[in-house]
Structure 1
């Protein structure tokens, strides 16, 4: 593998430096570096970050290859600056056995665009009735440490307690999709003024908040780790903040779309805005941004949820829930957090690389940009402005809420262990 010299990049948005990659590692950092025969990337004005890590991605394979495959999903990840993604378990068949998680893990290795770490199901078939083979999945070649029934809530308190107790033995974490099912029967969007005016079934904030409150108390009782998926309400922020003040081992994520979009967009009845949990109010958006800035919310996770055209191009009530997000996440975070002054680029690196890698145990990722570390890196041009065109996506699906919207920033290069997976904005 040849040497690569990244010249003049602002490491974590700070002073301009040169970074020399030799093989799979960062060989040297500093100024005025040179390396005979090295490929030189002139990166003046660009920001160099540790490779992004997504703790919440739907790659759909096996079973829904019409939406996405591990190959197309990881190509989308590389395009968005990601070097590692965690693949959710709601596939067909469900990733609730060692065999299925090993299949996903192997497909990621074969694709080669980013590391793929499978997430195992908490319960058999995501049915919420019986614990899945948590230990077998952890002991498999995939080494699963994160478990989630995402798409469905583990609503049975006894099952949730048992899951927390089980994973405690090997330092695992339960990632909860917080949605009380009986409070969301027939729900179509956020419960509030807009849902009342449109006559759509309301999805109350308390359906999320009540599960989070229960689960942080269970985690405290058991002494185990719980992670809250796609937190979306101001009330949820306060519960997590309270739990952390008590020393409960809870972490939480927010999606890019919940940092930017509100339920006012549902007035268009465009199903591209239909997502789970639903888009909330401007008040919720502001609370989520502030919580991400102050660390109450630990990370940004995309909840990349690809769907084929026919599942979205239909009437609102029949449309599938979800949005693609891997290829636009960093741009949305730049707009909502960096350009508003809530986070600097070092903070972005923490929320989108360092901390998700720590929570999920992604070895070699989220590491400092310094000599001797694995060369998992993302180079972004923050001055770029461009209009989102889903036809340019590497993802197999096109269900983005940002079509036609101008967003800042562009990932120019992504490096996975020193090998360029994205070069000048194009997949290698």
Structure 2
């Protein structure tokens, strides 16, 4: 039988297949990058190759909806090659990259440039965000046409200092995007509060690490989430709250969901497992926006994941160099640290500790992101027709995180020295191993594809369309509506 005559390219045997609902022993058959069968080994079609996954749990590859790969413009910190290599080592098979690069992804030309970079370098699949603000409003149709996963709107300042739109401009932005069905991801911190508090702290001579936390109390997120939810409810825009860091912002998030607002949210391992009490140990290394908060927030965030108030986990992978993270004046320290390689092992450690089930991790890391962004069932699932995006996990592997050994160019994080249990030992993207036996498959550079081509946003539900700014400006009194 010639290679082309085989009904499958690969059959994976011996593993425990994990979905958001079940764990069961099963074999997986793959053809042309997609799963064609899941079931008993003796029911699998003949294949050109087999792979023995005995002793491993096979999860849908994680979808990290929030990374900063710094390419173009800041490639000394990270680029698409090193960032997606780190993703592969972390069991992540799809990433959504943020637009605060140089140039900012705000028009068709900058988007096309970034697509070219990513398609040439990426080991894993990806989606690209475009910035949504006053300067890019007119470019929304061209950006959607050019291929984006969604829009990013900065309600508060962070790395790159993308201007924060006024509430009036934000309302107009939601009005413009709502009919497209694309989701708007929000850096939900109120800029005016933070700027005022930081100025006063600087005047008072506060340069210590905790001054950063003092400049961004939880109320900045509470106010921003509530305001964004009101505007989304009015316009019918779909919104996503990035990096939820506090128990306090869960209130407006729950209220909005109860009112039927199309609002989702994410948190990350650093908010679940790190606390303000560790600022003395880590100094500027722990600086991130929003800040790591007091330990009392951790329990409510875990509970919100369990009850569905928070829909998913994402890393906000934000790499910088050691020099940029270890300055003594906290206001000069770049915000963020790497996480795309370490988050799944950190969460697996919590599975081992009994905090949640392995199926919960699949729901938060793969199934829910795929559903929210219109990628399911091609992504986030292990079933016939899905892309063969798989993370092969050794649940028993104990190891210690070592910044120097990370694939990321950023070799500094508050995870250094932490003992974890659980490790992705192989990662497959569309039927091809991109990391195998903890070794990067260098021939997979450029294997990654943009997932906007398979995204299905469904039917948008814009509201109050006769009252949008565009509608009222175009209206002339006395003319028929």
TM over 0.5: yes
2-structure distance, mates of 1:364, 1:108: 24
Q: Which residue of 2 aligns with 1:64?
A: 74
Count of aligned residue pairs for this structure pair: 416
**Is the 1:153–1:178 contact (alpha carbons within 8 Å) kept by the matching residues of 2?**
no
- Choose the corresponding residue for 2:54, options 44, 50, 53: 44
Gaps in structure 1 of 5+ consecutive residues: 189-194
Q: Which residue of 2 aligns with 1:191?
A: none
**Is the 2:282–2:414 contact (alpha carbons within 8 Å) kept by the matching residues of 1?**
no
Q: Which residue of 2 aligns with 1:285?
A: 298
**Is the 2:208–2:329 contact (alpha carbons within 8 Å) kept by the matching residues of 1?**
no
Q: What do you get for the CA RMSD once the two structures are aligned?
A: 2.4
Q: Which residue of 2 aligns with 1:145?
A: 150
- Choose the corresponding residue for 1:54, options 31, 51, 64: 64
Q: Which residue of 1 aligns with 2:188?
A: 178
- The alpha-carbon deviation at position 380 of structure 1 amounts to 1.1
1-structure distance, mates of 2:136, 2:63: 30
- Choose the corresponding residue for 2:269, options 256, 263, 282: 256
User: Structure 2 vs 1, CA of residues 230 and 315 (structure 1 numbering), >3 Å: closer, same or farther?
Assistant: same
- Choose the corresponding residue for 2:344, options 327, 330, 342: 330
Q: Which residue of 1 aligns with 2:211?
A: 200
Gaps in structure 2 of 5+ consecutive residues: 200-205, 442-481
- The alpha-carbon deviation at position 359 of structure 1 amounts to 2.5
**Is the 2:352–2:421 contact (alpha carbons within 8 Å) kept by the matching residues of 1?**
no
Q: Which residue of 2 aligns with 1:78?
A: 88
Q: Is the aligned partner of 1:119 residue 2:132?
A: no
Q: Which residue of 1 aligns with 2:308?
A: 295
Paired residues for 1:79-98 under 5 Å: 79-98=89-108
Q: Deviations over 1:207-265 (max 9, x none)?
A: 11101011111111112111101011101112111111111111001011111100011
Q: Which residue of 1 aligns with 2:451?
A: none
1-structure distance, mates of 2:367, 2:178: 22
Q: Which residue of 1 aligns with 2:16?
A: 10
2-structure distance, mates of 1:362, 1:37: 27
Q: Deviations over 1:6-28 (max 9, x none)?
A: 22211116121111223311132
Q: Which residue of 2 aligns with 1:192?
A: none
2-structure distance, mates of 1:55, 1:48: 21
**Is the 2:132–2:151 contact (alpha carbons within 8 Å) kept by the matching residues of 1?**
no
1-structure distance, mates of 2:322, 2:408: 13
Q: Which residue of 1 aligns with 2:446?
A: none
Paired residues for 1:385-424 under 5 Å: 385-424=398-437
Q: Which residue of 1 aligns with 2:34?
A: 25
- The alpha-carbon deviation at position 377 of structure 1 amounts to 1.4
Q: Deviations over 1:175-221 (max 9, x none)?
A: 11011122223549xxxxxx999873502110111010111111111
Higher mean displacement: 313-322 or 303-312: 313-322
Larger radius of gyration: 2
Q: Deviations over 1:251-285 (max 9, x none)?
A: 00101111110001102252211111111111111
- The alpha-carbon deviation at position 76 of structure 1 amounts to 1.0
2:11 alignment partner, SS class: strand
- The alpha-carbon deviation at position 365 of structure 1 amounts to 4.4
Q: Deviations over 1:306-355 (max 9, x none)?
A: 1122211321412111010000010122234x245453222211211122
**Is the 2:395–2:422 contact (alpha carbons within 8 Å) kept by the matching residues of 1?**
yes
Paired residues for 1:237-252 under 5 Å: 237-252=250-265
**Is the 1:269–1:316 contact (alpha carbons within 8 Å) kept by the matching residues of 2?**
no
Q: Deviations over 1:287-324 (max 9, x none)?
A: 11110111100110110001122211321412111010
- The alpha-carbon deviation at position 38 of structure 1 amounts to 4.3
**Is the 1:26–1:371 contact (alpha carbons within 8 Å) kept by the matching residues of 2?**
yes
Q: Please report the TM-score for the alignment, with normalisation by the length of structure 2.
A: 0.81
1-structure distance, mates of 2:148, 2:279: 40
Q: Please report the TM-score for the alignment, with normalisation by the length of structure 1.
A: 0.91
1-structure distance, mates of 2:282, 2:316: 22
**Is the 2:66–2:316 contact (alpha carbons within 8 Å) kept by the matching residues of 1?**
yes
Q: Is the aligned partner of 1:426 residue 2:439?
A: yes
